[in-house]
Amino acid sequence: MKTHMAITAALASVVLLGSSGSSSAQKAAGPSAQNYQNSSGSADAAKPEAADAPAPLAPVLRVTSVEVLRSTHGPTLDIVRVRGLASTGGWEEAELVPLTRGTPPDGILELVFVARAPAEASNATGFEVVEAIFPIESNHPFKGVNVRSATESVRVKEFPGYAEGKAAGEDCAKCVGKIFLAKGASAAASRNAGEVIREEQLPAGARVLKPGDGIASADSNPNRLTVVVGEDGRITSAVWD
């Protein structure tokens, strides 16, 4: 899978203590590659042993809530606690990465909610809850925080404080087999509401492939839902790719 978003911790402000995720520890890398001659003395170098490269970091799909907690005993410590939804299961090592460097003029700390995405495309089986925290040391210059996901952001304007994101919408875990209705289309009077999936119910950026459609790009994106519609108008596949 190609890297979905290159974000580095070097962006961190000097007043930030760091981030902490709620998922499993990062997988250890494999042995370092070495070039050497084979036993026959040939100049042909053996191929280096492959390392287990970590999965790429990518923004999680949505932020569902942002809470800033303030310690009651000195020295004062503010902790940003963020909950969100990943597109599928298998996302690991959720963390908050700062975009802010130094003191912003508006006093808002900008964070991106990221995690390690699955290495392969995944069938839509339902959103997965992810969570991370970000401690900030005392005497910081921030009055609020804005946390960005792949599809939107949630802002807490004052410390301490709390804010919620928008409703998550359709996770498409039960989309396959249902009738797809494009925007503006009307369902037949005989149809039960549970038998149809409307295009406006799908997550932002969803790609719908109807019979005869091509694909303009094969780039991988773990936050893009691809829905395939058969000739009878029913959804035959729903994949986060």
pLDDT at 140 over 80: yes
Per-residue pLDDT tens digits for 202-237: 998 999 999 999 998 888 899 999 999 999 999 999
Residue pLDDT, tens place only, 85-123: 999 999 999 999 999 999 999 999 999 999 999 989 999
Across the chain, what does the average pLDDT equal? 81
Kindly tell me the sign of the dihedral angle through the C-alpha atoms of 69, 74, 76, 77: negative
12-21, 39-48, 187-196, range with greatest mean pLDDT: 187-196
Looking at per-residue confidence, does 176 or 73 come out higher?
176
Residue among 40, 10, 208, 237 at smallest CA distance from 124 = 237
56-to-116, 124, 166, 210, 220 alpha-carbon distances in Å: 6, 20, 26, 30, 11
Q: Taking the model in full, what pTM does it have?
A: 0.77
Q: How far apart are CA 111 and CA 95, in angstroms?
A: 10
Whether the pLDDT of residue 33 is over 60: the answer is no
Q: How far apart are CA 88 and CA 143, in angstroms?
A: 34
* Between 195 and 13, residue with greater pLDDT: 195
So what CATH class is 179-240?
A: alpha beta
Please state the separation of Cα 199 from the chain's center in Å.
Answer: 22
